[in-house]
Amino acid sequence: MRANLKPNRYSQYETGVRALTIEAALRICDEYGVSLDWLYRGDRSRLPHHLAIDIARIEAAERGH
């Protein structure tokens, strides 16, 4: 249970089945070092550089590039 969230709840947030609460978002930010701007807006500008690079690589692979 990372970020003190049950796996099924985390999965619901991740897949969009359930809206991410601010309380859960803050726990995720603290645990993973991401920002609320990333979680709610998809804005990478405040992410740690290594995470932004990893996300860009994953997105490129998913697009087949």
3-state SS assignment for residue 57: helix
Tokens of 20: 């991410």
pLDDT of residue 1: 67
Per-residue pLDDT, averaged over 16-33, amounts to: 94
Per-residue pLDDT, averaged over 1-18, amounts to: 90
How many angstroms separate the CA atoms of 64 and 18, rounded? 29
pTM of the model: 0.78
Tokens of 33: 């070092």
